[in-house]
Amino acid sequence: MTDSKVHSNIIFSQQIDIELRKIVQKYPIGKVFLLTDQIASGFCLPLIQEVIDEFSIRYVAIPSGEENKNIQSVGLVWDFLSNNAADRKSLLINIGGGMLTDLGGFAASTFKRGLDFVNIPTTLLAQVDASLGGKTGFNFNGLKNEIGVFMEPNSVIINTNFLKTIDRNNFLSGYAEMLKHGLIKSREHWDELLTFDMQNIDYDELQEIIAHSVAVKEWHVLNDLREQHIRKALNFGHTIGHAFESYAMKTGRPILHGYAVVYGMIAELYLSAKQCGLGIDELNSISAWMIAKYGKFEIQESDFEALYQLMTHDKKNEGKRINFTLISEIGQVEINVDCSKELIIEALLYYKNI
């Protein structure tokens, strides 16, 4: 099967009920199910309640929060599907943030060896990253997304009205992935992101920028679904970022995913300067802008070894080498870059002292 045949149908619409009805009516009554979480259920389900009632859609809400992205929550979804006689001709609708779409996608992909699923992302992070691209999974043994499969949703419905209810921290978390897309795509897209007014959000303008950001991810996914080659560009900031995220959780100071990616990008921009020729002025100006917007997750030199060890568990590694995606300039990506432990520690020191 070619990548293009598993490519998701991405729908930008302010009429979510109409778009969902078009999808649901293709399935037998009683074979459409819905997964949400306890936070999203309160403000998201009313927007599609007519469709839920019309097609007798049964739903389940799992506990919210990254700490619940685990095998126990997957088991709850499997139990729900099993108890309600879901089969391989069924559809699972995942409505919520990135944790929910990741976990729901995995549960759907593995139940009876796979049933169709649709993602309706309700956070900016999920709209530009987590709900797209076919990566599904859950956290295991303290490691983020350690268990998962590649499986594209049949459709993704993106509606910026959901974003009017998220707080600033979660907005910034999602915007971090858009910043990553800007850095790997082009100076033009990067500048568009830098000049967007995040204080007084124009949601029509935001939807246009989200569409540009989604196009960056979709191009990479379409050309390399299983992350063998160019899709690795999307990992920029994530090797060190995931280490920050896991370490923050382990030490009882959890941070949002996008914040961890920003801190990872700062360290990996330093590696880019050392290994790929990124200009020092560019490194410093981007890092200063990011710190001004995102603050810092404080670390000490005594934390460096633990962070390094977390990087060695990264799924993208090949053998014993830690695999980095770096940039030589904005819009110019270099994948599979090998960095020594000494240089990685140096990058963490740059981040610590910035």
* Residue the block writes with tokens 């999808």: 23
**Which residue in this structure is represented by tokens 């500048």?**
191
- Topology of domain 171-353 in CATH is Dehydroquinate synthase-like, alpha domain (1.20.1090)
Q: Where in the chain is the domain with CATH 3.40.50.1970?
A: 3-165
Radius of gyration (C-alpha) of the chain in whole angstroms: 20
Which are the contacts of 61, defined by CB distance < 8 A and separation ≥ 6? 35, 36, 37, 38, 40, 41
Q: What is the pLDDT of residue 4?
A: 34
pLDDT score for 1:
28
Going across the sheet that includes 116-121, the strands are 9-12, 155-158, 116-121, 91-96, 32-37, 58-62
pTM: 0.87
Going from the C-alpha of 266 to that of each of 130, 244, 286, 346, the distances in angstroms are 21, 12, 8, 12
- Give dist(CA 81, CA 59) in Å, integer: 9
What is the structure's pLDDT at 315? Answer: 65
Residues of each domain in the chain carrying CATH 1.20.1090.10: 171-353
Query: CATH number of 3-165: 1.10.3720.10, 3.40.50.620, 3.40.50.1970, 2.60.40.10?
Result: 3.40.50.1970
DSSP E strands: which ranges in 133-275?
135-140, 143-150, 155-158
First to last CA, the chain: 47
Check residue 7 and give its pLDDT: 52
Distance CA 294, CA 314 (A): 24
Angstrom CA distances, 271 to 181, 275, 294, 348, stand at 18, 6, 20, 10
- One digit per residue, the tens of pLDDT, for the chain of length 354 reads 233 334 569 999 888 999 999 999 999 999 999 999 988 888 888 889 999 999 999 999 999 988 899 999 999 999 999 999 999 999 999 999 999 999 999 999 999 999 999 999 999 999 998 888 888 999 999 887 889 999 999 999 999 988 988 899 999 999 999 999 999 999 999 999 999 999 999 998 999 999 999 999 999 988 887 878 899 999 999 999 999 999 999 999 999 999 999 999 999 999 999 999 999 999 999 999 999 999 999 999 999 999 999 999 876 666 678 989 999 999 999 999 999 999 999 999 999 999
| Residue 258 neighbours by CB under 8 Å, 6+ apart | 125, 172, 173, 174, 175, 176, 177
Confidence at residue 2, expressed as pLDDT on a 0 to 100 scale: 31
> What's the pLDDT at 277?
97
CA distances from 300 to 45, 303, 343 (A): 44, 5, 17
